[in-house]
Structure formats: structure tokens, C-alpha cells
Amino acid sequence: MGRDVPAREFTRDDRRRFRDKTHACLDVLARMLRESRFDAERPQVGLEIELNLVDGRAEPAMRSADVLEAIADPAWSSELGRFNLEINIPPRRLTEGGPDSWEDEIRAALDHAEEKAAALGTHLVMIGILPTLEQKDVGAAALSENPRYHLLDEQIFAARGEDLLIAVDGVERLRTYADTITPEAACTSTQFHLQVAPEEFAAHWNAAQAVAGVQVALAANSPFLFGRELWRETRLPLFEQATDTRPHEFKEQGVRPRVWFGERWITSVFDLFEENTRYFPALLPLCDDEDPRRTLDDGRIPALAELTLHNGTVYRWNRPVYAVADGVPHLRVENRVLPAGPTVADVLSNGAFYYGLVHALAEEDRPVWSRMSFAAAADNLHVAARHGIDAELYWPGTGEVPVTELVLRRLLPLAHRGLEQLGMDTAWREPLLGIIEQRCVTGRNGAVWQAEMFHHLHDVVHADRHEALRRMTRQYIDFMHLNAPAHTWPVD
């Protein structure tokens, strides 16, 4: 969904043409898969990070257009809200450049952007949901200037025919309505990309689905929304609800949500694109001039523009991606379950754990998804979002087990093995996976620190609720810049 789109209204003919073109793209994708036309020689990984903008008081700053102009780097782009930005880190081989290369690149890019933002009186924050964000901050005026977001807003509400209900029961209870999709902008994430060969895609996607709950439990960093303490990773229920095109009656009929974990293990990447086309009507029925069949017949590589645009409006937690780079097509798993932050060190440790574990599970002779129901994996994700690092999750051979025990005894060794198979030596792996290990040993992550710091300021220091959240966020920003992993952050 990263492309710009024109502001316009859609006709019935637009929707018919788009459906026809999407099915044509699907046919061409099937042919490309049969003919093995994809790049798989030098698979790469990639990273996107969404960030919040705040002012000097750590309150949301609606300055994304100004900050983007100041940064003046195509790696940076707008997001849904005027208080959001996103950076797309260039793709690379996982072990390219040595142990510190990727971290140095990310920190240099973030430091440069922070310098430009600070000159405008704003600052960047990597955090799942900005704790100082209030409901008044996510009205229509907060929607990004980019026309594609206004079109999405119009189309989602046209499909629903009524306001959005946002209801989350956690430590506290939130129940409110929204007449715009801007509350979705409260959700800022880290997205890991993994390029895979077509014949290996199903195994890697299934593995990513199986471990999604574990990822969220370990890295939860979104315990507050609109001043309420809710789930440890409140991003998940908020994102599911803030982009829901279904009125209540459609939910009762079993119509699938656009923010979707899925409903089955797959045997091919084609399964996912075909499901997206079969189950979800177009939100942005914009047709490209390319005839994908003719392009392929002429020996060229089609963009599959309609299929990829439609795919970008179905928000799977692990999304399939078709893209063309330097004239060569490839496939990626886009892992979307994790919040942003707290630090670059935390982000890279999350990435190492994910890449290593998924690779190891995909290579097993008896894969985990053959021993685990898809429903159990989906349940794990929501249990993990609610309880964070204190969650108990299901795993084949162990049953319900504390996630920290599961990781320390079973999954960390697998992640080490997977990274070793990918060419990462012990001296490189240990610092990265050591952060994951210490999170499990201490039972602490970003969400735990946020909650504890808030209660210290509110219950002990007796700051009022918003002031406690504001002071906690300012302290968070200071620790974020130190780049010490969140499990080491003090509360005082």
C-alpha cells in the first residue's frame, strides 16, 4: 500500500474492471510460479520501522510533512497519521557487512532524521502506541495529507455504513467510537521482510505464523491507549478494529476481517493471493495500463499492479509480497506482528530471533505446523498480545507453558541453529539472542517497563494520569537514545 494514488471517486465499472484485472494478474502469477521465474539466488532481508512524532513535552506533533521535507531522504515516507513517519531500511543479505553493520546503518539513519526533526521542535519515538496520544488527537484533522489515506478512509466507512467501535478489555476498559480510520495511526510497528524461493514460501510462512504469538509476547511494547492501560500489546486489537470494514451483521455471518491472521496452513504462496482475491472486495479499485498476460508473453516481467495493490489492503499479520527489483521478480514474507522499539538493539534482537527461528522450523523434517492446529497458533497470538511476556502459550510436545520457559528451553536453541545455518557465527549471534534470553530471565520488556514506570509516577509520586504518561514517555525517549535494551531500564 505504499504507492501514491489520485484523489477520485470509484464507479461500478471501475470495480468490475479491477476485479477482472486482479484475476488476470492471479493467472499470470500462477504461470510464473509454474515456470520458476523468481529470484532466489541471493535472498535478502529487509526492515521497515514506523515512528511517532512528538513535541518537547512528549505530546503528539502533527508535523510529518514538515519533518519529511527536512529529512529529504526517499527512504522516509508518510504514514496514515500526521504524527507518523516510516523508514524503509535498504534490503541486504542477513550476514552482510559484519556484526555491527546493520545496526550502524539504522542508527545513522535515525540519528540524521532526529537531528532534522529536532530543528523543527519535534522528536522521533519508536514505540508501539504513543502513551500521550489522546482520542482528540486522532480525528479527521490528523489524517495524513496523502490522498491514498483519505481514499481508504472513505472506502472503509462506505463499506461499513457506520462508525467504528473500538472496545478493549484489559487491565482497564476502553469503549469508544470513531468516525475516521485515524485511530489506526496509533499503531506503529516493526516489519521484517524475508525473501524466499517460491518452493520454500509455504514452509517459511507457516513457520512465521506458528511463532507469531511468541514474537509478540517477547516484544510487547503497547500497553496504553487513550490514557487507559489495556493489553500488553494493544496494537493488535486496535489495528483489527480500526480497519474493520464489516458492520456487526457481517461479523455474525462469518465474513472475514481485513486484518487477518488467516484460517489455515498453506501449501503455496498462491493460496494467500488467491484467498485475498476471493474473499475481499477492492478498497482501491485503480487499474494500471499494463496487460500482465501480454507483458509475460513478450518475455518481460509484469508488475501485477492490481494484485499487489489489492494485497496491500488485506492486512495479514504475515503478508505475502510480490515485487520486482532490477527487472527480476521475487517473493517475500512480510512479518507485521511486532511493535516499534524500544531501541535499535531490541529491534535487531527481535529480527535475529525471528529469522533464525523461522529458518530452523522451516527446515525441520516434521514441521511444527503438522503437529499444531492453525487455531492454536491464532489463539497464541491474542493470548500473547493480552498478557505479553507473562503469557502461557501452547506448543506441540509441551502443551500450555509460560512463554519464557518455552523460549529458553526450546526456541532459543532453534534460533541459534537457524542463524548458524544462515552463516552467523557464535560471536555474532550471542549478543543478539542474549537480549532475548535476558528478557526471558528477567521477565521484562518494553510493555512491562512502561506499566511499571507509569504506576511509579502515578501511584507513588502522585502525578495525575496524563502527567504520569507524559513523564514516562520523556524518560522512555531518553533510554531509547541510550540504546540499552529495555529489560535493563530502571524504574525510579
pLDDT, tens digit, 9 for 90 and up, residues 80-92: 999 999 999 999 9
- 315 - beta bridge partners? 259
Report the predicted TM-score, pTM, of the whole model to 2 decimal places. 0.96
Quick one: average pLDDT of 367-382? Answer: 98
Quick one: which of 488, 486, 483 has its CA closest to 103?
483
Residue 128, class by beta-carbon neighbours within 10 Å (0-12 exposed, 13-18 middle, 19+ buried)? buried
In the chain, the percentage of residues whose pLDDT exceeds 70 is: 98
Average pLDDT over residues 29-48: 90
Least reliable range by pLDDT among 7-11, 191-195, 442-446: 7-11
**Chain position carrying cell 516510516:** 86
Of 91-100, 157-166, 195-204, 245-254, give the range with the top mean pLDDT: 195-204
Average pLDDT across the chain, whole number: 95
**According to the model, what pLDDT value does residue 3 have?**
52
- Beta strands (DSSP E) in 222-327 are 224-225, 228-229, 259-260, 315-316, 318-325
Q: What's the angle, vertex CA 313, arms to CA 69 and CA 29, rounded to 5? A: 110
Mean pLDDT in residue range 288-294: 96
Report the range of poorest mean pLDDT among 52-61, 145-154, 377-386: 145-154
Q: Report CA-CA distances (Å) from 266 to 201, 349, 370.
A: 9, 28, 11
Distance CA(122)–CA(93), nearest Å, equals 34
Per-residue pLDDT band for 18 (boundaries 50, 70, 90) equals very high
Band (pLDDT 50/70/90 cuts) for residue 418 is very high
pLDDT-based confidence at residue 2 (cuts at 50, 70, 90): very low
| Residue 68 pLDDT | 97
Mean pLDDT, to the nearest integer, of 459-469?
Answer: 97
- What are 254-284's pLDDT values in tens digits? 999 999 999 999 999 999 999 999 999 999 9
Residue 4's pLDDT is 56
Structure confidence by residue, pLDDT tens digits, 101-151: 999 999 999 999 999 999 999 999 999 999 999 999 999 999 998 888 999
Lowest mean pLDDT segment, chosen from 38-47, 172-181, 354-363:
38-47
User: How many whole angstroms from its chain centre is CA 116?
Assistant: 25
* Residues whose CB is less than 8 angstroms from the CB of residue 234 and which lie 6 or more positions away in sequence, other chains included: 128, 129, 168, 170, 222, 223, 224, 225, 385
Please report how the helices 412-421 and 344-362 are oriented relative to each other, as an axis angle in degrees rounded to 10: 80
pLDDT of 297-322, one tens digit each? 999 999 999 999 999 999 999 999 99
Task: Quote the pLDDT of residue 6.
Answer: 59
Cβ atoms of 132 and 486 within 8 Å: the answer is no
Q: Which residues of 51-61 are buried (b: 16+ CB within 10 A; e: fewer)?
A: bbbbbeebbbb
Given a cut of 80, is residue 185 above it in pLDDT? yes
Is pLDDT at 1 greater than 50 in this prediction? Answer: no
